[in-house]
């Protein structure tokens, strides 16, 4: 064991540490009532999904031919029953699980892959940029619904395949945002200063690029969660996502569409849930966007 | 990746090898053209001649001022020197060694640093200022703690008390304080040459004076050489031993401070000097020294580039391109009026051989 | 108010409320400008010079608190709103900005924009307006004016664009021209051309001009009178010659003393130590006291009033006189 005989450099004096960027974001977010309410609802929906077995009053899959399509307010079934006589409230509560998974899971995966592609293209510039971004544009040219349906159709129905196809749909969108933000940051003087200091490209990306581009990309990705939920519901609706009898809002909307004339309110309930959840994600990402603006 | 092609010529440190008389930087035939977007495909290819054949030296320990209007190529020259972009043609010699040749780029980079005009855009908003300053030393393998200690020392040197400022973020500082941080960052690698690209132009006058004093102190204490780019002739006159006047990508005149300010030879330099606002309301400028805006560097005029705005222009000026003619030991001007036998009526007569 | 007073500002205060802390950008400014007079508002960033000038057109974000009295060419600006205010903007009072590229609309030609300005304020035909626009372009000495009127802003160089901006400002024969650092973004050889042009047109049209600048040299070139601002207040005001040759306020003295032109032969500049105060937390008393070499206890208690040093030269410093 070597004996440390060299004097250690004088450790820097404790400095006044300013509140960091993220604590500022949280502080500004706390002043935005709309974003807070949206966040509260999202948390509530997530909690409901997690604790579904404890909250749901009935078994979501136990039906009865006798109790079909009961209206809202029926004793024991506060939100009525569906066309197979299953308790709507319980199905909506359980449905939150799959709906949230399908809405939320593709986005972080696409965020990782898309950001990587976009940041590389944006930082490299020139020919590399052109090659990557034109390839991305090919995917981007398809309307996202069409692409999701086509991919799911090709891969076959099922939860995993639906998740894969949604992820693929979002990668080009995130990559484009990542590329444009990175291209902007790349031109700033502090990146030039870092290049002038002789730092390798990966170090510059890690220290100077990532911190300044991930925020805006993250905000954009958050707004995709609501799109993802609606697309996922659409896939289930077309029979390409979750398969019956599992409860999922899009699928429920599909199966109840035949009952729209008999009990319209009950049939609309899954749609209302999709609407509320996606709008909450949208409002929250809007709030996040303004909270991340340092100048505000 | 850059690999060391040759061994350094001696054991002396980079920048010490050529001796004190060897210029720190020699620029020879530097050319940088930018393609104009939207040309070249079905249309004639156009280029911006940002820097179009520039030669100059920066002597060890001096401050060389560069003045000129927008489009004259002074900022492009700075970025070329900084190797932030590569030149189309020309060589940069650092202490006699060719950059990218005998002197590897990585070694050169440590010797030359730059301070930018926009104090905010040149600081990463997500890093505290101590992290910003310590970044470059860490990249070059200095242990984190030593780099941080060096950052604190530099902050102290530029007049920002480390205990108050080290942990702050750029948006919490004033413009003058941010520019001090940028100066500290540039010094963190212990460079020989610091390029100051309009480094004080965006500051308020009273702050500008403080920062200029700081730059003078640092130059003396660290034995620095400055390339000082500015549009403010008064500041250049105060700061610089030698001055280079640029016009549309070329050197118009270069010489000692006295030569440029007192024995001006190029009509453009005189016009630039005469354009400075007079401080005495009773001696107001009556006639603008020049009319019109500087021409576009995409299509510079043929011959002498200044002839379209020059009061002494003669037909010969649009035909012959004047090179830098030696006027005296430390003074050259690129004007046909200074070239003996150039054909201009005001040119000195050819000396007998 | 005398006959010939064109602009009269009395005890103007402007408070911005962007967040929790109100920012008092202008703090009790009084200034009057005679007909045909050029007054330079000289100050550093944050001194309130631009805010003071913009108050004349009420060009402030919503929620800004403006107090005091402003009278321009017989209009009580504080009472004006909506239609009457827009009628005054451009017609009686017009403005030239620092960045003409941001102030002009990129999708219309310069000719169209000038014609629109004229036709908004006067009932004349488009051809008459076009003729006026051409005359204005000749007036500001833009070469080949017919062709230039058909140009879009991005096709013009900075100096030509600032000339167009001046032409547009003069389109409706205003009585007052407000210039907000109009030459700061320009090159030196172009700056002096624009300064001389403004001076010449001001004489010809008999304009009253408020010229905001941070550059003492520019102020000396154009202004009849100079008002020096510091932290939202006027600290010294007087004829340009007086202010430059015989400054009384320690801040003005400091500014003039810190000029690099004076440092010939010396290796250091004289500087004003410290930095301007935070406008959200102004010190009591004189705002310059923390940086002032002459400050005494009384400076830190009361805000010194502007007192007359001579007939038309006033100073806000207790140590003067």
Q: Using a pLDDT cut of 70, give the percent of chain C over it.
A: 97
Q: Does A5 touch chain B (CB under 8 A)?
A: no
Higher per-residue confidence, A234 vs B216: B216
Reported as a single tens digit per residue, the pLDDT across A96-107 is 888 888 888 899
| Mutation target among C46, C101, C188, C272 for the B interface, most CBs of B within 10 A | C188
Q: Does A188 touch chain B (CB under 8 A)?
A: yes
Give B351's pLDDT tier (boundaries 50, 70, 90).
Answer: low
Q: Using a pLDDT cut of 90, give the percent of chain B over it.
A: 49
CA–CA separation, A216 vs C217, rounded Å?
44
Q: What is the pLDDT of residue C166?
A: 93
Query: CA of C68, closest CA in chain B: separation in Å?
Result: 29
Q: Does B299 touch chain C (CB under 8 A)?
A: no
Give the domain-ending residue among C125, C151, C173: C173
- What residues of chain A lie within 8 A of the CB of B167, using their CB? 15-18
The residue assigned the tokens 């103007």 is C12
C180/C81 same-domain check: yes
Q: Does A211 touch chain B (CB under 8 A)?
A: yes
In a domain, B96, yes or no: yes
Q: What are the helix (H) ranges across chain B? A: 74-81, 105-111, 129-139, 144-157, 162-165, 175-187, 205-222, 233-239, 257-262, 267-275
Q: Do the chains contact at C269 and B280, CB–CB below 8 Å?
A: no
CA–CA separation, A131 vs A71, rounded Å?
57
In a domain, B309, yes or no: yes
Reported as a single tens digit per residue, the pLDDT across C75-103 is 888 888 778 888 888 888 999 988 888 88
In a domain, C267, yes or no: yes
C181/C227 same-domain check: yes
In a domain, C313, yes or no: no
- What residues of chain A lie within 8 A of the CB of B84, using their CB? 192, 195-196
Q: Do the chains contact at B280 and C220, CB–CB below 8 Å?
A: yes
Higher per-residue confidence, A162 vs A81: A162
Domain that residue B261 falls in: 25-126+169-276+292-338
Domain that residue C9 falls in: 5-92+174-272
In a domain, B132, yes or no: no
C137/C154 same-domain check: yes
Selecting from A11, A190, A211 the residue whose C-beta is nearest the C-beta of B123 gives: A190
Reported as a single tens digit per residue, the pLDDT across C34-50 is 999 999 999 988 889 99
C49/C86 same-domain check: yes
C191/C264 same-domain check: yes
In a domain, C291, yes or no: no
C74/C195 same-domain check: yes
Q: Is C240 helix (H, G, I), strand (E, B) or coil?
A: helix
Mean pLDDT of A274-295: 82
Query: CA of A170, closest CA in chain B: separation in Å?
Result: 28
Listed range (A290-294, B38-42, B137-141, C251-255) with the worst mean pLDDT: B38-42
Tokens (6 digits) for A130: 């052109």
Task: Give the pairing type, strands C65-72 and C176-180.
Answer: unpaired
H/E element, C188: helix C188-205
Q: What is the pLDDT of residue B179?
A: 94
Q: Do the chains contact at C272 and B206, CB–CB below 8 Å?
A: yes
pLDDT at C133 over 90: yes
Reported as a single tens digit per residue, the pLDDT across B234-293 is 899 999 999 999 999 999 999 999 999 999 999 999 999 999 888 888 888 888 888 888
CA–CA separation, C237 vs B188, rounded Å?
45
Query: CA of A211, closest CA in chain B: separation in Å?
Result: 6
Reported as a single tens digit per residue, the pLDDT across B140-197 is 989 999 999 999 999 999 999 998 898 888 888 888 899 999 999 999 999 999 999 9
Listed range (B33-42, B74-83, C94-103) with the worst mean pLDDT: B33-42
Closest CA to B328 of B227, B272, B253: B253
Q: Do the chains contact at B285 and C270, CB–CB below 8 Å?
A: no
- What residues of chain B lie within 8 A of the CB of A190, using their CB? 121-124, 132
Mean pLDDT of C172-193: 90
Which stretches of C215-299 are assigned E, i.e. beta strand? 225-230, 233-239
C59/C115 same-domain check: no
C196/C166 same-domain check: no
Closest CA to C83 of C35, C121, C124, C41: C121
CA–CA separation, A148 vs A250, rounded Å?
15
Give C24's pLDDT tier (boundaries 50, 70, 90).
Answer: confident
Tokens (6 digits) for A90: 């319980």
Higher per-residue confidence, B17 vs A177: A177
In a domain, C316, yes or no: no
Higher per-residue confidence, A254 vs B228: B228
In a domain, B257, yes or no: yes
Mean pLDDT, rounded, of chain C: 88
Reported as a single tens digit per residue, the pLDDT across A229-247 is 888 878 887 878 777 777 8
Selecting from B231, B233, B282 the residue whose C-beta is nearest the C-beta of C241 gives: B282
In a domain, B349, yes or no: no
- Which residues 191-210 in chain A show a CB within 8 A of chain B? 192-200, 203, 207-208
Q: Return the DSSP state at B172.
A: G
Give C131's pLDDT tier (boundaries 50, 70, 90).
Answer: very high
Q: What is the pLDDT of residue B306?
A: 92
Question: What ipTM describes this predicted complex?
Answer: 0.86
Mean pLDDT of A254-271: 79
Higher per-residue confidence, B183 vs C265: B183
Q: Do the chains contact at A188 and B121, CB–CB below 8 Å?
A: yes
Q: Chains contacting A with at least 3 CB pairs below 8 Å?
A: B
Closest residue, chain C, to B270 (C-alpha): C189
Reported as a single tens digit per residue, the pLDDT across A184-219 is 999 999 999 999 888 889 999 988 998 889 888 988
In a domain, B20, yes or no: no
Please count the structural domains in chain C: 2
Q: What is the pLDDT of residue A183?
A: 93
Q: Does B281 touch chain C (CB under 8 A)?
A: yes
Q: What is the pLDDT of residue B10?
A: 52
Please report, for the domain that includes residue C39, its CATH number.
3.40.50.300
CA angle A219, A220, A221 (to 5 degrees): 90
- What residues of chain B lie within 8 A of the CB of C267, using their CB? 216
Please count the structural domains in chain B: 1
Q: Do the chains contact at C45 and B234, CB–CB below 8 Å?
A: no
Q: Do the chains contact at B293 and C160, CB–CB below 8 Å?
A: yes
| Mutation target among B126, B132, B142, B186 for the A interface, most CBs of A within 10 A | B126
Could you tell me how many CB contacts below 8 A there are between chain B and chain C? 126
- What residues of chain C lie within 8 A of the CB of B235, using their CB? 260
HEC sequence for chain A = CCCCCCCCCCCCCCCCCCCCHHHHHHHHHHCCHHHHHHHHHHHHHHHHHHCHHHHCCCCCCCCCHHHCCCCCCECCECCCECCCCCEHHHHHHHHHHHHHHHHHCHHHHHHHHHHHHHHHHHHHCHHHHHHHHHHHHHHHCCCHHHHHHHHHHHHCCCHHHHHHHHHHHHHHHHHHHHHHHHHHHHCCHHHHHHHHCCCCHHHHHHHHHHHHHHHHHHHHHHHHHHHHHHHHHHHHHCCCCCCCCCCCHHHHHHHHHHHCCCCHHHHHHHHHHHHHHHHHHHHHHHHHHHHCCCCC
Alpha-carbon dihedral sign for residues B153, B154, B158, B162 = negative
Give B42's pLDDT tier (boundaries 50, 70, 90).
Answer: low
Closest residue, chain A, to B113 (C-alpha): A196
CA–CA separation, A285 vs A38, rounded Å?
9
Q: Does A296 touch chain B (CB under 8 A)?
A: no
In a domain, C107, yes or no: yes
Whether the CB-CB separation of A278 and A229 falls below 8 Å is answered with yes
Higher per-residue confidence, B257 vs C265: B257
Could you tell me how many CB contacts below 8 A there are between chain A and chain B? 109
Tokens (6 digits) for B9: 């010529």
Reported as a single tens digit per residue, the pLDDT across A24-44 is 778 888 888 898 999 999 999
Q: Does B53 touch chain C (CB under 8 A)?
A: no
Please report, for the domain that includes residue B200, its CATH number.
3.40.50.300
pLDDT at C264 over 70: no
- What residues of chain A lie within 8 A of the CB of B132, using their CB? 190
Q: What is the pLDDT of residue B331?
A: 93
Give the domain-ending residue among C147, C173, C199: C173
CATH 1.10.3720.10 matches A101-291: yes
Reported as a single tens digit per residue, the pLDDT across A108-117 is 999 999 999 9
- What residues of chain C lie within 8 A of the CB of B204, using their CB? 44-45, 214
Give C3's pLDDT tier (boundaries 50, 70, 90).
Answer: low
Q: What is the pLDDT of residue A75?
A: 72
pLDDT at A2 over 60: no
C237/C214 same-domain check: yes
Closest residue, chain C, to B269 (C-alpha): C189
Selecting from A17, A190, A203 the residue whose C-beta is nearest the C-beta of B122 gives: A190
Mean pLDDT of C8-12: 92
Q: What is the pLDDT of residue A123?
A: 92
Q: Do the chains contact at C188 and B233, CB–CB below 8 Å?
A: yes
In a domain, B283, yes or no: no
Q: What is the pLDDT of residue A288?
A: 83
Q: What is the pLDDT of residue C265?
A: 64
pLDDT at B352 over 60: no
Query: CA of B24, closest CA in chain C: separation in Å?
Result: 23
Give B350's pLDDT tier (boundaries 50, 70, 90).
Answer: low
C244/C225 same-domain check: yes
Reported as a single tens digit per residue, the pLDDT across C212-228 is 999 898 999 999 999 99
Mean pLDDT of C171-179: 91
Closest CA to A109 of A61, A186, A163: A163
């Amino acid at each position: 064991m070597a004996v440390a005989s060299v004097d250690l450099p004088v450790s820097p004096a404790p400095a006044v540490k300013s509140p960091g960027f993220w604590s500022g974001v949280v502080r500004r977010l706390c002043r935005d009532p709309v974003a807070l309410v949206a966040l509260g609802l999202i948390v509530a929906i997530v909690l409901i999904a997690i604790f579904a077995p404890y909250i749901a009053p009935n078994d979501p899959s136990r039906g009865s031919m006798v109790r079909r399509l009961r209206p809202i307010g029926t004793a024991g079934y506060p939100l009525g029953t569906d066309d197979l006589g299953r308790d709507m409230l319980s199905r909506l509560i359980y449905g939150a699980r799959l709906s949230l998974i399908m809405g939320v899971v593709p986005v972080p995966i696409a965020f990782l892959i898309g950001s990587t592609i976009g940041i590389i293209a944006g930082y490299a510039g020139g020919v590399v940029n052109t090659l990557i971004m034109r390839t991305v544009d090919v995917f981007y040219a398809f309307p996202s619904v069409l692409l999701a349906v086509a991919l799911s159709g090709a891969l076959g129905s099922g939860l995993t395949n639906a998740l894969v196809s949604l992820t693929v749909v979002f990668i080009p969108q995130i990559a484009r945002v990542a590329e444009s933000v990175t291209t902007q940051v790349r031109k700033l003087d502090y990146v030039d200063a870092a290049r002038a200091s002789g730092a390798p490209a990966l170090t510059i990306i890690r220290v100077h690029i990532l911190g300044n581009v991930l925020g805006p990309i993250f905000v954009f990705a958050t707004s995709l969660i609501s799109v993802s939920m609606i697309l996922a519901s659409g896939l289930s609706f077309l029979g390409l996502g979750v398969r019956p009898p599992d409860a999922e809002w899009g699928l429920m909307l599909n199966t109840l569409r035949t009952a729209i004339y008999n009990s319209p309110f009950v049939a609309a309930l899954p749609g209302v849930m999709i609407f509320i959840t996606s709008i909450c994600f949208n409002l929250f990402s809007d709030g996040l966007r303004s909270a991340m603006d340092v100048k505000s | 990746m850059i690999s060391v092609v040759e061994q350094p010529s001696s054991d002396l440190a980079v920048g010490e090898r050529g001796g004190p008389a060897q210029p720190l930087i020699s620029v020879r035939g530097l050319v940088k053209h930018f393609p104009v977007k939207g040309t070249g495909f079905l249309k004639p290819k156009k280029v911006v001649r940002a820097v179009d054949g520039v030669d100059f030296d920066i002597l060890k320990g001096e401050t060389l001022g560069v003045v000129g209007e927008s489009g004259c190529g002074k900022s492009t020259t700075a970025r070329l020197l900084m190797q932030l972009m590569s030149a189309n043609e020309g060589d940069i010699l650092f202490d006699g060694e060719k950059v990218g040749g005998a002197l590897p780029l990585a070694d050169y980079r440590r010797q030359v640093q730059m301070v930018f005009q926009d104090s905010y855009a040149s600081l990463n908003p997500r890093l505290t200022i101590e992290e910003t300053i310590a970044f470059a030393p860490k990249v070059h393998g200095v242990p984190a703690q030593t780099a941080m200690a060096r950052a604190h020392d530099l902050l102290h040197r530029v007049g920002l008390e480390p205990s108050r400022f080290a942990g702050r973020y750029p948006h919490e500082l004033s413009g003058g304080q941010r520019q001090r941080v940028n100066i500290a960052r540039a010094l963190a690698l212990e460079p020989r040459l610091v390029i100051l690209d309009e480094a004080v132009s965006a500051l308020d006058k009273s702050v500008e004076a403080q920062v200029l004093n700081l730059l003078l102190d640092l130059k003396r204490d660290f034995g620095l050489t400055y390339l000082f780019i500015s549009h403010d002739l008064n500041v250049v006159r105060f700061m610089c031993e030698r001055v280079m006047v640029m016009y549309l990508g070329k050197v118009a005149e270069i010489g000692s401070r006295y030569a440029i300010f007192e024995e001006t030879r190029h009509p453009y330099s005189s016009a630039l000097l005469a354009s400075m606002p007079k401080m005495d309301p009773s001696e107001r400028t009556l006639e603008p020294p020049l009319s019109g805006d500087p021409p576009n560097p995409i299509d510079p005029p043929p011959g002498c580039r200044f002839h379209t705005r020059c009061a002494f222009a003669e037909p010969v000026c649009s035909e012959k391109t004047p090179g830098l003619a030696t006027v005296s030991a430390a003074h050259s001007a690129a004007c046909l009026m200074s070239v003996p036998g150039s054909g201009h009526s005001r040119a000195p007569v050819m000396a007998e051989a | 108010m005398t006959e010939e007073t064109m602009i009269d500002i009395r005890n103007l205060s402007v408070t911005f409320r962007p967040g929790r802390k109100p920012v008092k950008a202008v703090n009790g400014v009084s200034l009057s400008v005679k007909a045909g007079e050029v007054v330079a508002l000289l100050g550093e960033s944050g001194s309130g010079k631009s805010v003071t000038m913009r108050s004349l057109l009420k060009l402030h974000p919503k929620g800004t608190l403006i107090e005091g009295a402003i009278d321009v060419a017989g209009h009580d600006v504080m009472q004006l709103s909506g239609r009457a205010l827009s009628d005054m903007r451009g017609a009686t009072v017009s403005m030239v900005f620092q960045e003409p590229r941001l102030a002009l609309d990129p999708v219309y030609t310069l000719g169209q924009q000038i014609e629109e300005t004229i036709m908004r304020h006067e009932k004349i035909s488009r051809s008459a307006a076009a003729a006026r626009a051409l005359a204005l372009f000749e007036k500001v000495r833009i070469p080949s004016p017919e062709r230039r009127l058909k140009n879009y802003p991005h096709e013009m160089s900075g100096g030509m664009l600032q000339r167009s901006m001046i032409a547009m400002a003069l389109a409706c024969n205003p009585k007052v021209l407000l210039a907000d650092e109009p030459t700061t973004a320009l090159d030196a050889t172009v700056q002096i051309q624009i300064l001389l042009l403004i001076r010449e047109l001001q004489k010809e049209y008999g304009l009253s001009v408020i010229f905001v600048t941070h550059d003492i040299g520019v102020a000396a070139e154009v202004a009849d009178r100079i008002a020096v601002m510091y932290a939202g207040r006027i600290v010294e005001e007087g004829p340009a010659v007086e202010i430059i040759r015989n400054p009384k306020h320690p801040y003005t003295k400091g500014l003039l003393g810190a000029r690099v032109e004076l440092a010939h032969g010396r290796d250091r500049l004289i500087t004003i130590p410290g930095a301007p105060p935070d406008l959200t937390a102004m010190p009591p008393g004189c705002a310059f006291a923390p940086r002032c070499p002459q400050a005494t206890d009384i400076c830190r208690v009361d805000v010194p009033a502007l007192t007359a040093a001579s007939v038309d030269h006033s100073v806000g410093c207790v140590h003067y006189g």
